[in-house]
Amino acid sequence: MDSDTALGAAVLRSGPGMLASEHWPALPYEQWRATLDTLHAHTQVLGKLSAALAPPEPQLQHAALRLTARGWETQPLPAPDGSGTLVVVLDLHAHEAGVEHSLGRRHRIALGPSRPVGEVTREVLAAVRDVAGPVTIDPRPQETPWTTPLDEDEEHATYDPDHVGSYFAAAVRASLALAEVRAPYRGRSTPVNAWWGSFDLAVNLFSGLPADPPSGDFIMRNAMDAQEVAVGWWPGDERYPRAAFYGYAHPAPPGYQDARLEPPGARWEADLGEFVLDWEDVRGHEDPHRAAVSFARSVIRHSCAACDWEPALAASVDGVPPPVT
C-alpha cells in the first residue's frame, strides 16, 4: 500500500477529514493523574445519587452511569418529591455539572479549573434538592485510595480541560468498540456501563447461571453473583498506571490465564487477574478500533470455551445466531 492509499484508508476508518490518531489520543497517566482523580471523584457524586434513588437491579445495574456524547450521566432517576424524573450529568464539553428535571427545571455548576470536589458536591446536592426534593447520599468515596467524604474533599481540585478532553475522546473510542462487541450477543448483557467506583467502562455478558461471589463485601456480594464475562477499558490507576482494555471471566477455571489472545500485545496481567491490552498498543495499530474489538472478542471466545458456556451463546458474539427451534 503506497502512502496516499494508506492515508486514505485511515481517513475512511476515522471519518471524513480525520486521521485515526486524532481520535485515539495519548493518555499518559502521570501527566494527568491529578485531573483524573478529580474527575473520578465527581463521577462518584452521580453514582451515589443513582444508588440512592434508582430502583435496585441485579448486579447493581441501577447504580451504573452512562457515557454519552457530552460526558458521564445518570439514567433518569425518580425525583424524591414524586414530581417526575431528574438526570445529573458531567458535561465534559462545557466542563460543568448539570441537574435537569423532566419539568424543565435545571441548574449548571462549573467543574474547574480549580474548584474543590467538596464545593462542587455541595452545589450539586443543593441543586438536586432544589429541583426534585430532599435527598441524602453516603458521601464516603468507594473503591478509591482516598477516604475523605465527597462533600468535604478540598484536596482534589485540579481540573485541566485539555486533559479532560483527551480522556473523553479516548473513552468515546473505547465505548464504541465495547458496544460493537456486545451488540450481537444473544444472552443477557449490560449496556456499556460507566462505573464510578473503579472509573472504567465495561460490558458484562451472562451465561444465565448463578455463581458464588469472590468475597462477602457489599459490592462483590451483589455485583458478582452470576457467571459472567466482562470486557472493559480504564484510563489507569495507581495499581496499573496506564490506560488499557481488559477482560476476565467469573468464576475462572484453573488454567484460565494460559491463553494467547489477539492482537499481539494482549497478555495476562497476574497482579490484576485479568487479560489486558495497553492503550498504546491499540493506538499503534493500523486500525485501532479493529484491534480493540479483536481483543474483546478473543477474551470472550476464550472465556466461553474455558468456562464451558452454551456454544450458541459463544457463537452469537461473532454474529452467528443460535439455531431456530
Per-residue pLDDT tens digits for 130-165:
999 999 999 999 999 999 999 999 999 999 999 999
pLDDT at site 112: 86
Closest CA to 292 of 238, 228, 247: 247
Cβ atoms of 276 and 246 within 8 Å: the answer is yes
Give every CB contact of residue 5 below 8 A, 6+ residues apart in sequence. none
Interhelix angle 29-53/117-132, nearest 10 degrees: 30
**To the nearest 10°, the Cα dihedral for 251, 232, 302, 219?**
0
Give every CB contact of residue 69 below 8 A, 6+ residues apart in sequence. none
Q: What backbone phi and psi angles, to 5 degrees, belong to 52?
A: -80, -30
pLDDT tens-place string over residues 105-126: 999 999 988 899 999 999 999 9
pLDDT at site 15: 40
Give every CB contact of residue 183 below 8 A, 6+ residues apart in sequence. none
Closest CA to 32 of 237, 213, 206, 289: 237
> Checking DSSP bridges between strand 200-210 and strand 267-269, what pairing results, if any?
unpaired
Concatenated DSSP letters of 228-242:
EEEEEEE---SSS-S
Longest dimension (CA), the chain: 64
pLDDT at site 319: 86
Entry pTM: 0.91
Cell readout for 321 is: 445466531
**To the nearest 10°, the Cα dihedral for 133, 138, 141, 142?**
-110
Measured CA to CA, the distance from residue 173 to residue 324 in angstroms comes to: 35
pLDDT beneath 50, residues of the chain: 1-19
Helix (H) or strand (E) holding 30: helix 29-53
Measured CA to CA, the distance from residue 88 to residue 50 in angstroms comes to: 9
Beta bridge partners of 229: 205, 249
If one counts every other C-beta atom within 10 angstroms of the C-beta of residue 8, the result is 12
pLDDT at site 188: 94
* Percent of the chain at pLDDT exceeding 70: 92
Cell readout for 147 is: 477516604
If one counts every other C-beta atom within 10 angstroms of the C-beta of residue 251, the result is 13
pLDDT at site 6: 38
